[in-house]
Structure 1
Amino acid sequence: MIQVKKEGVLLAKTLIPFEDEGVLNPAAIREGHFVHMFYRAVSQGNHSSIGYCKLNGPLSVFDRHKKSLLAPEFDYECQGMEDPRIVKIEDTYYLTYTAYDGINALGCLAISIDLIHFEKKGIIVPQISYAAFDQLAEQSSPINKKYFRYNEHIGVLESDLEKSLIWDKNVIFFPRKIKGKFHFMHRIKPDIQIVVGVENLKDLTEAFYQDYLSNFNDHVLLSSKHDHEISYVGGGCPPIETDQGWLIIYHGVKDGLYGYIYSACAALLDLEEPRKEIARLPYPLFKPELDWELKGEVNNVCFPTGAVVFDDTLYIYYGAADERIATASVSVSALIKELLLYNKQDDK
C-alpha cells in the first residue's frame, strides 16, 4: 500500500469577513519555487468568493491577500464562486470554478496571462434541464440509474423548478492540448465525464452539447468501482503528466453510517487517448482520519483540488471537513509504480 504523509493544516479561516466561515478546496499552480493558490473563501450565509495566497515552496505561506481576488459579479454566480482549479496551457492560465446562483451549480471559466487579472468567460458546460438531459442521454443507450437519484433538485421551490438545470461541476482542464486540442473533465453525478478534441472553446455551443449528450455514455471517463467510491466519484486535481500516463487525483464518496465519506483517489489515464483508463488504486489514496478531517462544516471530508510537484514529491492540497485547507504528500514514482500493479487489463 502506498505511503502518504499528512503534512497538516496549511490555511484556516480568519476573522476577515470574506473568509470567516471557512477556507477550502484550492487551486494551485507552481511557478519556479513559488506556488500560487486560489482558494474557496466562505463568508457568513455560505457565500463563496476566491481568495489568494502565495507559498514559498510547497508548504510555507509567503503572502495572503486580505480580500477576495475574484468575487461574484454576474447573475449565474450571484450566490458564490466555488472550488477553483487552475492550469497553464501555452501562455494562458485557465481557472475553472463552480458558479452558484441559488438554484444551479455550473462550471465556469476565467482566463489570465499574469495570475492577477482574470477575464471571466462564463458558463462552459451544458445548461439543460434534467428532463431534457435524460431524453438526450438515453437516445443511444440506457444511462446509469443513479443519474436520476443524484440530480433531483431537492428543496427547490415549485416556482423555481422551471429554472432548475442539471448540476455540472468540477470542470478541470488537462494542462496541455492533446493532438492540438483542448480536453477537460467535468462531473454530472455520479460519474466523471470528459470532453475531448475541442479546437476552440467557442465551439462549446448548445448544438455541440446536444450532440455530446446524445452519445453520453461514450463520454463517461470514470465510474464508481471500489467500495470507498461506491456512491459516486468526482474530479479532483488537474491531471499530472508522467511518462506512464496522466496521473489523476480525484475524489470518491461512500455513504457510511454517519453520512458521506469523501476520500482522495488515484488513477492513471493514457497520455494521448485520455479516455482510456490504464489503472486505478483499489483503495483510497488517503481518507478522513484526523480530527480536522473528521469534524468541520461537513464531517468526514478529504476533497483534493490542487497539486504541485517538487522533485519526486507530489503535494496535494485538499479541503478538510469543508472548513480548512490541508496538504498531503506522496512520492510520484512510488505512486505510479503502485498504480501499475492494478492495471485495468488485469481486471478482464
Structure 2
Amino acid sequence: MQRAGDNARRRCRPSNRFDLTHFFQQARTYSRRVRSRRAGPDGDSVDVIFNADEDISERVIFPVTPSQSNGIEDARFVRFEGDDRGVYYATYTAYSGRAIRSELIETADFTSFRMSPLRGAAAQNKGMALFPRKIDGQYAMIARQDNENLYLVYSDDLHTWETGSALLKPTMPWEFLQIGNCGSPIELDEGWLLLTHGVGPVRKYSIGAVLLDRVDPSKVIARLHEPLLGPEPAEREGYVPNVVYTCGGLRHGNQIILPYAVSDTFSTFATIHVPALLGAMTFDD
C-alpha cells in the first residue's frame, strides 16, 4: 500500500558534495566580517557583512556570541510580507554548551545580516517558525514550549515571545514521541500549509503536513495521517541515523520545493504537488 503523499512528492538525490576546504578558510577569517556588536540585557546583537561579489553559497555565518559558542543551527528563513524593504527573517537555535535558546537573523539583501536574541518564555526552546505576515495585526510563530507538542504564539513585538496556546499534539504512531515544525507556514488559498516533523519508535524522524485555517490558524482543518516523507532503507545510516529533516519549503505555482537533510549525512530535495497533497489529507467535518 502506498503511503499518503507518495503521488504528491518526488525525491531527487544530489550529484555533488560540499567542499570543506573553503569552509575552513572562511572560518579563519570570519572575525573581519563582524562589523558591530552591541551588548543588551538579553545578550549581544551582531552585524555580519559579506562582500557583494561573493557567491551566496559561500556566505557562511559562524557562531559569534557566548550564547552561540557551541553552535547555531536550523535556521528557518521566510520572506516577511508587508515591509517595503522585502525583509527576510530567520529563527534559529543558539547553543552555548549549557543552554539552548531561539534567536533571530534579519537581512534584506543576503549580504548584511543582523543577529539578535529573542526573549520571553517561548524563546527558551528551539524550533520557532515565523508566519510570513502578521495575523490580525500581530506577529505569529509556531513554537515548541515542551518536548512533545506544537504551540501557536502571538506577539506585538518581533523580539518578545511569551507563552502560547497548544496547537498540535502527537496522534499518529510515526509521531508518537514528539512533533515539531519544519519551517514557516506556507500560505495557500485553502489555508496555511504547515510542514511538521514527527518522531516515532527508534527515534525515526518523518515529515508530515497539516492545514491551518487561513483566518484563524489556531484551527487545524486538515491533516496528513501518514508521513509525507521518511528515510528510505538506504538512507537510515549516518551521523544522526534514521532521520529526514527540513527547515522549510518554497512554493512555486502548484509545487512545493522541499530541501531536506538525510541522517545528517547529505542534503537533497523533493518536489510536492500541492493539489495531490491536499487530496491526500483528511479534512475535519
Q: Is the 8 A contact 1:252 1:263 kept in 2?
A: yes
Could you tell me how far apart the structure 1 residues matched to 2:67 and 2:284 are? 40
Instruction: Please give the residue correspondences for 1:266-281 in structure 2 after superposition, counting only pairs within 5 Å.
Output: 266-281=209-224
1:117 alignment partner in structure 2 = 112
Could you tell me how far apart the structure 2 residues matched to 1:290 and 1:316 are? 20
Q: 1:18 offset after TM fit, Å?
A: 4.2
Q: 1:64 offset after TM fit, Å?
A: 5.7
158, 179, 204: which is aligned to 1:233? 179
Matched residue of 1:285: which SS? Answer: coil
1:25 alignment partner in structure 2 = none
Could you tell me how far apart the structure 1 residues matched to 2:207 and 2:223 are? 12
Partner letter of residue 108 of structure 1?
Answer: E
CA displacement, residues 34-70 of structure 1 (integer Å, 9 cap, x when unaligned): xxxxxxxxxxxxxxxx9x9xxxxxxxxxx5634x531
Q: 1:126 offset after TM fit, Å?
A: 2.4
Q: Name the structure with the higher helix share.
A: 1
Q: Is the 8 A contact 1:11 1:326 kept in 2?
A: no
Please report the TM-score for the alignment, with normalisation by the length of structure 1: 0.66
Q: 1:199 offset after TM fit, Å?
A: 2.0
CA displacement, residues 70-105 of structure 1 (integer Å, 9 cap, x when unaligned): 111111111111010111212321111100000112
5+ residue gaps, structure 2? 26-47
Partner letter of residue 210 of structure 2?
Answer: A
Segments of 4+ moved more than 6 angstroms: none
Indicate yes or no: 2:1 matched with 1:6: no
Indicate yes or no: 2:82 matched with 1:87: no
1:108 alignment partner in structure 2 = 103
Could you tell me how far apart the structure 2 residues matched to 1:10 and 1:251 are? 26
Distance 1:11 1:224, change over 3 A: farther
RMSD (CA atoms):
2.4
Q: 1:290 offset after TM fit, Å?
A: 4.8
Indicate yes or no: 2:147 matched with 1:189: yes
Q: Is the 8 A contact 1:108 1:125 kept in 2?
A: no
Could you tell me how far apart the structure 2 residues matched to 1:11 and 1:114 are? 27
Instruction: Please give the residue correspondences for 1:271-310 in structure 2 after superposition, counting only pairs within 5 Å.
Output: 271-291=214-234, 293-310=235-252
1:76 alignment partner in structure 2 = 67
Could you tell me how far apart the structure 2 residues matched to 1:227 and 1:65 are? 38
Could you tell me how far apart the structure 1 residues matched to 2:245 and 2:143 are? 15
Could you tell me how far apart the structure 2 residues matched to 1:115 and 1:327 are? 22
Partner letter of residue 343 of structure 1?
Answer: F
Could you tell me how far apart the structure 2 residues matched to 1:97 and 1:326 are? 20
1:170 alignment partner in structure 2 = 127
Matched residue of 1:16: which SS? Answer: helix
Q: Is the 8 A contact 1:227 1:254 kept in 2?
A: yes
Q: Is the 8 A contact 2:106 2:114 kept in 1?
A: yes
Matched residue of 1:177: which SS? Answer: coil
Could you tell me how far apart the structure 1 residues matched to 2:75 and 2:17 are? 17
CA displacement, residues 212-263 of structure 1 (integer Å, 9 cap, x when unaligned): 3xxx6xx11111010110110011021111111100111001023xxx1000
Matched residue of 1:190: which SS? Answer: coil
Q: 1:344 offset after TM fit, Å?
A: 3.2
Partner letter of residue 216 of structure 2?
Answer: E
Please report the TM-score for the alignment, with normalisation by the length of structure 2: 0.80
5+ residue gaps, structure 1? 21-49, 53-62, 129-166
Partner letter of residue 186 of structure 1?
Answer: A
194, 207, 226: which is aligned to 1:248? 194
Could you tell me how far apart the structure 2 residues matched to 1:241 and 1:328 are? 19
Q: 1:324 offset after TM fit, Å?
A: 1.6
Q: 1:19 offset after TM fit, Å?
A: 7.3
Q: 1:201 offset after TM fit, Å?
A: 2.1
Could you tell me how far apart the structure 1 residues matched to 2:284 and 2:21 are? 48
Greater RCO, CA 8 A, separation 6+:
1
Distance 1:97 1:11, change over 3 A: farther
Q: Is the 8 A contact 2:196 2:208 kept in 1?
A: yes
